[in-house]
Amino acid sequence: MSAVGQSASRAAQPILPRGLIKTKNRHHTRRITNLAMLGMTAAFTLFAAIPLIWVTVYTVMTGAKYINVEFFTELPASVLQGGGGVSNAIAGTIIITLIAMTISIPLGILAAYYVAEKPNTRLGLVVRFATDVLAGVPSIIIGLFAYGILVKPLGTFSALAGGVAISIIMLPTIVRSTEEMLKLVPRALREGSLALGAPDWRTSLVVLLPAALAGVVTGIMLAIARGVGETAPLLFTILGNDHYSVRQIVQSGVESGMTPIQILRELVLSPTDALTLTMYRYSQDPFPERVQQAWAIALVVMVFVLGVNILTRALTARRLAGRS
């Protein structure tokens, strides 16, 4: 090609302004930076998920081999005899959780109502501060507290002491979650109810609570999941009891002519057991069968906690979808 043709070809090519070239280079750099940061985020997310996946898979593979019908229906058997189950721990966990729910749910919701309605009062500030502090107290200290106020005065370990300890652990979660859900309720609903002549207590019960119910239930479920997974407070409150059987206690009470209140008192004030406490004891046992049952208990507790968290996420997603 001649010199004239080369100069004509160069003249035909578009000449980009210097500012446009800088903009394209900056856009290219941003794309590379964005891809690099997304890659790092994905890598660190996977790295953080590895322990959870590892623990879950290992627990399922190890514990599932030792779960059967007898595991859920029978009392613990002698190591020399073999077999047996953990029905005592399952019953104890249910009773302790019910006691904890009976104490913590009403107190938590009422405290959250007060804090949400009167956040800047002296009592409201004290309740919020106390809730934050209580959420950070080690659970073993709460167990010692329950031991001092219930176990020593009553002279016996009991499901009641364990339930009180677990209720204290559940309380901060219920208070803070309920408070936040109540704050999300439109103010117009409350004002409209009051304008129609409804008193404050009726407005809170009939208008505010149903509007925030999904979020309140979510907080309660998370609190229950945390309470069921606690072990340290139970070391000082329920002691452990391989012979705890609701059926036997009720049957013995009926045969001896006890009233329902007396039977309930026997159930609540007797030393009992719990899944997490049984797992802790069995894991230190030198007999392989006990260790195997400890893995089975770990699987049951893990499935319960994960199930509650998944259900909570589903309820939250459904509530957000309903709003949109």
H or E element: which one contains 199? Answer: none
- C-alpha to C-alpha distance for 212 and 204, rounded to whole angstroms: 10
Burial class of residue 38, CB neighbours in 10 A (0-12, 13-18, 19+) = exposed
HSE-up of residue 94 (Cα within 13 Å, Cβ side):
10
Residuewise pLDDT in 10s, the chain (324 residues): 555 454 545 544 555 455 555 666 777 788 888 899 999 999 998 898 898 899 889 999 999 988 988 999 899 988 777 778 899 999 999 999 999 999 999 999 999 988 888 888 888 889 999 998 998 899 999 999 999 999 999 999 999 999 999 999 999 999 998 988 888 888 888 778 878 887 877 887 788 888 888 888 888 988 998 899 899 999 999 988 888 999 999 999 999 999 999 999 999 999 999 999 999 999 888 888 889 999 999 999 999 888 888 887 777 777 666 655
Domains and CATH numbers, the chain: 87-245+255-275 (1.10.3720.10)
Residue 7 structure tokens: 């100069």
